[in-house]
Amino acid sequence: MQHNNSGMWDREFTRFSSFIYEQVGIKLPPSKKTMLEGRLHKRLKSLNIKTYEEYATYVISSENKHVELIHLIDAVTTNKTDFFREPHHFEYLVRNVLPALAAQGSGSSLNIWSAGCSSGEEPYTMAMVLADKLPAYPGLRVSILASDICTDVLKKARDGIYPEERINTIPLYYKKKFLLKSRERTRSLVRVVPELRSLITFRRINFMDDDFGLTNKMDVIFCRNVVIYFDKPTQKALMLKFHQQLKPGGYLFIGHSESLNGLDLPFKPVANTIFQKV
């Protein structure tokens, strides 16, 4: 049933949810109807569109699809992230992965992909822990690709500017080394130092694309707390694409609430939520 004259009908929700699934692999159960309605309300207002039915037709029609789809996805994806989230992953990266790759003398480069990087906390955390250890590995070059489907958060990530309350989870040692305070004392903002920003390239990538358009194979892929929105077949298809994108013996890190169980994939577990390509 419809709440008010301009509310969302079930049939419109069905249209939106099938379209979103088709385009980006995210499954929206009927229980998410109120959430979707609330989040799309702003889009309707800014486009001066009166009903959800009209908006559904607008976003699904071919000439608007590519532009408007970005806004639709921005509305349905939640971008909850923190610096040093799941810290054991970053410890494993510097304690195990870094020395192993350096020992191989693997063309002296370490390519990492932060897939679903949101507002940048994950790739900047990687950059902090790696840049700190790099002096011990002369000649090793680190490059981090950070991607998301949401353009709003990518812009924030690229800027590398955060309110002070966002940096509580960063150990003091790294704060002192890699963050600059705003010169304007009234503004409690910090900025990531240029040395770290230069290690990271930001790009918009849709996991549903057949080919991510990446020339480099990766040593490490972090894709954490992203596939929880996907159903099993979509998860499996994506993990196989990641497998292809990794170098032999490359590593895949997933979120603590996620699992590869039952997906029958060519990865072996090497630590909690950390897998290696076989």
For residues 62 and 240, which has the higher predicted lDDT (pLDDT)? 240
The verdict on 123 and 71 lying in the same domain is no
Task: State whether the Cα torsion 22-23-29-33 is positive or negative.
Answer: negative
Residue 3 has a pLDDT of 39
The verdict on 174 and 265 lying in the same domain is yes
**Active-site option among 82, 85, 141, 148:** 148
For residues 187 and 235, which has the higher predicted lDDT (pLDDT)? 235
**Active-site option among 39, 43, 158, 166:** 39
Average of per-residue pLDDT across 157-179: 92
User: Which letter does DSSP use for residue 186 in this model?
Assistant: T
d(CA 91, CA 243): 22
User: Which letter does DSSP use for residue 32 in this model?
Assistant: G
Residue 271 has a pLDDT of 93
CB 27 within 8 A of CB 19: no
Classify each residue of 249-278 as buried b or exposed e, where b means 16 or more C-beta atoms within 10 Å of its C-beta. ebbbbbbeebebeeeebebeeeeebbbbbe
d(CA 124, CA 197): 8
Residue 105 has a pLDDT of 63
Domain membership flag for residue 81: no
Domain membership flag for residue 4: no
Q: Could you tell me the pLDDT band of residue 191, with boundaries at 50, 70 and 90?
A: very high
Total tally of structural domains belonging to the chain: 2
CB 110 within 8 A of CB 142: yes
The verdict on 201 and 154 lying in the same domain is yes
The verdict on 126 and 178 lying in the same domain is yes
SS3 label, residue 3: coil
Taking 80 as the threshold, does the pLDDT of residue 217 lie above it? yes
CATH number at residue 116: 3.40.50.150
Lowest mean pLDDT among 133-137, 170-174, 226-230, 242-246: 226-230
The verdict on 159 and 131 lying in the same domain is yes
CB 201 within 8 A of CB 209: no
pLDDT in tens, 39-89: 888 888 888 888 888 888 888 876 767 778 777 877 777 667 889 988 999
Q: Could you tell me the pLDDT band of residue 273, with boundaries at 50, 70 and 90?
A: very high
d(CA 272, CA 278): 17
The verdict on 70 and 107 lying in the same domain is no
CATH number at residue 24: 1.10.155.10
pLDDT in tens, 86-111: 899 999 999 999 988 887 765 578 99
d(CA 147, CA 205): 6
The verdict on 123 and 180 lying in the same domain is yes
CB 20 within 8 A of CB 56: no
d(CA 132, CA 199): 13
Average of per-residue pLDDT across 153-176: 92
Contacts of 98 (CB under 8 A, 6+ apart): 110, 130, 133, 137
Other C-beta atoms lying within 10 Å of the C-beta of residue 109: 13
The verdict on 242 and 201 lying in the same domain is yes
Taking 80 as the threshold, does the pLDDT of residue 5 lie above it? no
Q: Is 39 a catalytic residue?
A: yes
Domain stop point among 55, 76, 97:
76
Domain membership flag for residue 157: yes
- Give the strands of the sheet with 141-148, arranged side by side: 200-204, 141-148, 109-115, 218-223, 246-254, 274-277, 267-271
Structural domain containing residue 17: 10-76
Domain membership flag for residue 202: yes
Q: Could you tell me the pLDDT band of residue 2, with boundaries at 50, 70 and 90?
A: very low
Residue 94 has a pLDDT of 94
List the alpha helices (DSSP H) in 77-178.
87-92, 98-104, 121-133, 151-159, 172-178
Domain membership flag for residue 1: no
Domain membership flag for residue 5: no
Where in the chain does DSSP place strands (E)? 109-115, 141-148, 161-163, 179-181, 189-192, 200-204, 218-223, 246-254, 267-271, 274-277
Residue 210 has a pLDDT of 80
d(CA 4, CA 254): 41
Taking 60 as the threshold, does the pLDDT of residue 119 lie above it? yes
Lowest mean pLDDT among 3-7, 181-185, 258-262, 271-275: 3-7
Residue 1 has a pLDDT of 37
Q: Is 159 a catalytic residue?
A: no
Average of per-residue pLDDT across 141-153: 89
The verdict on 197 and 61 lying in the same domain is no
* Residue 207: both structure tokens together: 């996991």
Domain membership flag for residue 238: yes
